[in-house]
A and B are shown apart, each in its own frame.
Chain A
């Protein structure tokens, strides 16, 4: 029997989720001098049977009287679903209670102790004889363990019931707390992702950079293998694809997968969730599942956001809601970027048209405004000004001669020397320009440069005759740029100077007409290179936007 019992003892497993409870319960009982055995719902022993005293060790080792009694009690308990008590033939007291988990009977625990009376009556003597043990040796060995009387069994039964109940409640509470914490943690991560996405919107202007960052965050927070962001002009147009994380697909394969399996399914502008993506031998085996959302703004498709392969388990509605929300934010933001770029293009287009109309009045100065704008921009950069300031100076350079609209063509195109009256007309153009643009709030700071670009350090400029540092930096920069371009292009009154001649001329006029600090900056620039750049710009309308490209 002992062999069959031993086999049974090791084959049955504890009901899952209760091991902590049993460990604690056994500890409490041991302190009270009781041993504990665990039984499953078929009254089969779970784990190794632990004996309560030396005598039991002998009994257990020689035939399992205690085990058999505990097993019998366990069978009664799981059969009736009620607590119970019994006494082993050796005299040990047994108390047991049923164990429930999720309202189901999953087994029983049986506690066992040798009562004091056990060593005082004949059964002990008979047992020792039966086992061929020396009575006095056994008595001294086990008496110390006999702390309780048989009458206390009923109390122990109650204590066992309470302790089991408390330990189970504690275990459940701890498990709930663990789950709750895990949930809270992922909720924080999701919340943080939403913060990060809105944060990224305030610092980024590049759609690609923005979407890539969104994808990178998605990979971490959603615990997915890869996130893909797609931007397109319209669904049928070639797309830009940003990938974060790892996916075992070549980029051409990924493009093909997106076009064949994702794009058609999000056509109705709703998120798509697929946990069992079937690859029909097309080489997309790397993809197990995905969630995809379209990026749309005012009914226009801007792209999509795709989460690929959940690392653990399946995609669920928590995932699709999260990516849907991120997708909505991203779409609004991408649309704003597009509108902003459109507005910028429109503004620049209008400003260029405006300046071109001035330049057209005087064929000799064709492209002059554009060149002055570019030289001014370069000088402003050389002065270490902020990107925003550089852009304003570019605009001021572009518009500096706008006031010439009020000067008759006969004066502008006059080959010879101007009369005093004519010269006075010409001198009005900075103030006229400032007046024309003065009403536009967004150009207020641009007007300063226009108004003062003919002032001079020596105070002999116009319209106000400002001196030295009283001339605003914008005016000094545009004045120098204007001067350089005037020297290096043909005019009605002379042909263009060579670059060397122009530099000499600039040096000669430094301190009187031109600001020494700025001249120094100008001469530190590769002027021959700058001149080539200006020539190119004249034939390349695409570069007209040069001053606005990196404006934040």
Chain B
């Protein structure tokens, strides 16, 4: 597996668990402990996929995704939103921020990996064209 994935979550154990799963699957992983750091890292590192928590200090996962869409350099990067409060997010907001998948906590790292592979596989041929 190839691809650079950015994970943003203020809960360190989620970062550890998800990083481990993705690194073991062969991905390059970078982590951020809040939305602001994630946004900075996205601009510098240009990840192929972003996995972000919803509730984070400074910049929420939703705001992060909106900011990514607003910048031409990161407009197309697929995003997965992790959340324990999916009921707080309107489907409209998910669509507008072009979030590819929402996973409710507690999620199985295995399922997340499947989703990641799926999203990166879709993206790959598009990049080759």
Interface residue ranges, A against B (CB under 8 Å): 102-103, 172, 175-176, 179-180, 183, 187, 273, 314, 316-318, 321
A179 with B11: CB separation less than 8 A: yes
A317 with B13: CB separation less than 8 A: no
Which residue from B16, B33, B106 sits with its C-beta under 8 Å from A318? B106
Question: Which B residues touch A179, using CB under 8 A?
Answer: 11-13
Closest 8 CB pairs of A and B: A316-B84, A176-B12, A317-B104, A180-B13, A317-B84, A273-B87, A316-B85, A318-B106
B106 with A321: CB separation less than 8 A: yes
B104 with A321: CB separation less than 8 A: yes
CA–CA, A200 to B70, complex, Å? 54
CA–CA, A19 to B109, complex, Å? 35
Question: Which B residues touch A317, using CB under 8 A?
Answer: 83-87, 104-105
Q: Is B37 an interface residue (CB 8 A)?
A: yes
Chain A residue, CB-CB nearest to B34: A102
A316 with B33: CB separation less than 8 A: no
Chain A residue, CB-CB nearest to B57: A102
Chain A residue, CB-CB nearest to B86: A317
CA–CA, A103 to B12, complex, Å? 15
Question: Which A residues touch B84, using CB under 8 A?
Answer: 316-318
Question: A-side binding surface: helix, strand, loop or mixed?
Answer: helix
Question: Which A residues touch B11, using CB under 8 A?
Answer: 179, 183
Question: Which B residues touch A273, using CB under 8 A?
Answer: 87
CA–CA, A321 to B86, complex, Å? 12
CA–CA, A104 to B106, complex, Å? 30
Q: List 24 A-B contacts (CB under 8 A).
A: A102-B34, A102-B37, A103-B33, A103-B34, A103-B36, A103-B37, A172-B12, A175-B12, A176-B12, A176-B13, A179-B11, A179-B12, A183-B11, A314-B85, A316-B85, A316-B105, A317-B83, A317-B84, A317-B86, A318-B84, A318-B105, A318-B106, A321-B104, A321-B106
Chain B residue, CB-CB nearest to A319: B84
Chain B nearest Cβ from A16, distance in angstroms: 12
Chain B nearest Cβ from A122, distance in angstroms: 52
CA–CA, A103 to B57, complex, Å? 12
Mask of B68-84 contacts with A, CB within 8 angstroms, 1/0: 00000000000000011
Mask of B46-89 contacts with A, CB within 8 angstroms, 1/0: 00000000000110000000000000000000000001111100
CA–CA, A317 to B84, complex, Å? 5
CA–CA, A226 to B120, complex, Å? 45
Chain B nearest Cβ from A405, distance in angstroms: 61
Chain A nearest Cβ from B60, distance in angstroms: 15
Chain A residue, CB-CB nearest to B104: A317
CA–CA, A175 to B10, complex, Å? 12
Most buried by A among B13, B57, B104: B13
Question: Which A residues touch B16, using CB under 8 A?
Answer: 180
CA–CA, A317 to B34, complex, Å? 21
CA–CA, A158 to B16, complex, Å? 31
- Asked, given contacts A317-B104, A321-B106, whether A183 binds B13 with beta carbons under 8 Å apart, the answer is yes
Chain A nearest Cβ from B75, distance in angstroms: 25
Chain B nearest Cβ from A369, distance in angstroms: 58
Chain B residue, CB-CB nearest to A314: B85
Question: Which B residues touch A187, using CB under 8 A?
Answer: 106
Chain A residue, CB-CB nearest to B32: A103
Chain B nearest Cβ from A187, distance in angstroms: 8
CA–CA, A179 to B17, complex, Å? 13
Chain A nearest Cβ from B15, distance in angstroms: 9
Chain A residue, CB-CB nearest to B36: A103
Question: Which B residues touch A316, using CB under 8 A?
Answer: 84-85, 105
Considering only residues 1-48 of chain B, those with a C-beta below 8 Å from chain A are 11-13, 16, 33-34, 36-37
CA–CA, A102 to B40, complex, Å? 13
Chain B nearest Cβ from A445, distance in angstroms: 47
CA–CA, A314 to B88, complex, Å? 12
